[in-house]
A and B are shown apart, each in its own frame.
Chain A
Amino acid sequence: DAGVIQSPRHEVTEMGQEVTLRCKPISGHNSLFWYRQTMMRGLELLIYFNNNVPIDDSGMPEDRFSAKMPNASFSTLKIQPSEPRDSAVYFCASGLSVLAPEPYEQYFGPGTRLTVT
C-alpha cells in the first residue's frame, strides 16, 4: 500500500487566500484525522471522521477552517481566508476502527507544510 497520501507537500500563499489541503487515506481504513503541528503548540488534533462522518471538530480553531470527507478515499481541509498564524505542518492520519473503543494504530501521512505570508 502507498500509505496515507497528502497533497500538496508544500504550499506558500498570501494572507487572505483560500488554501485547500488534500488527503487520501489508506484503502480500507474507516477513520481519518487532521492534525496541525507547530513549534509553539506541538501536535494538535483538529478534527476526525469515522465512516466519513465528522465525530469531533472541537479542535478546529475557528470558522475559517472547514473539513470534508465526501467519500471513504478522500478528505479536504480548507482554510478561508488564510492568515500568517495558520503557518504550520498539517498531517492527515487514518486508521481502522473495528471494535470501538478498542485502541488502534493511526498511520500518518508525510504532511503539508503551509506558509502564509
Chain B
Amino acid sequence: KQEVTQIPAALSVPEGENLVLNCSFTDSAIYNLQWFRQDPGKGLTSLLLIQSSQREQTSGRLNASLDKSSGRSTLYIAASQPGDSATYLCAVSKGGSEKLVFGKGTKLTVNP
C-alpha cells in the first residue's frame, strides 16, 4: 500500500528565505507526482505536476524535483513571501490509475 509522508509537518520562516519542503513515498512505481497548495477553509490548488519520466518542473518561484528510485520529491520555494503561507500537500498516482494518494501536508508560515 502506497504511503506518502511529508516532513516537517509545520515550518515557519522569515520573509525572503529560500526553503525546501520534503515528500517521500514508499512505492516507487508511481505514474506522476503533484504538489498542491491549500489555503485555510478552501480547496486545493494544483501547483506542479511531474510525470514519472521527468526529473523536475518549474513554475515561477517554485521548483519541484522527483527522484523515483529513492522515493523522494522536494518543493523548493525561492524568496518566500507572506502570501506563500498555506499548507502544501504532495500526492502520487500509480500507473493506469487516476487515484491520488496524499501526504498530510506541511503547514508553511512566512513571517513579514
Which one of B32, B42, B45 lies within 8 Å of A103 (CB-CB)? Answer: B32
> Knowing A42-B105, A103-B51 touch, does A111 contact B99 (C-beta < 8 A)?
no
- Assembled-state Cα–Cα distance A105/B49 (Å): 8
Q: Interface majority SS on B: helix, strand, loop or mixed?
A: strand
Q: Is the CB of A101 within 8 A of B97?
A: yes
Chain A binding site: helix, strand, loop or mixed by DSSP? strand
Cβ B42 vs Cβ A45 within 8 A: no
Closest residue of B by beta carbon distance from A48: B98
Query: Are A108 and B98 closer than 8 Å at their CB atoms?
Result: no
Q: How many residues of B contact A (CB 8 A)?
A: 25
Whether, in the assembled complex, A87 has its beta carbon less than 8 Å from a beta carbon of chain B, the answer is no
Q: How far is the CB of B57 from chain A (nearest CB, A)?
A: 12
Q: Bound complex: CA of A100 vs CA of B98, how far in Å?
A: 9
Q: Are A56 and B99 in contact (CB under 8 A)?
A: yes
When C-beta atoms are compared, the residue in chain A nearest to B96 turns out to be A101
Q: A48-B98, A101-B31, A103-B49 are in contact. Are A4 and B103 (CB under 8 A)?
A: no
| B102 interfacial contact with A, CB 8 Å | yes
A-B contact pairs, 25 of them (CB 8 A): A42-B102, A43-B44, A43-B89, A43-B91, A43-B102, A44-B102, A45-B100, A56-B97, A56-B98, A56-B99, A59-B99, A91-B44, A97-B98, A100-B96, A101-B98, A103-B31, A103-B51, A105-B46, A105-B49, A106-B46, A106-B100, A109-B43, A110-B41, A110-B42, A111-B41
Which residues of B line the A interface, CB within 8 A? Answer: 31-32, 34, 41-46, 49, 51, 89, 91, 93, 95-105
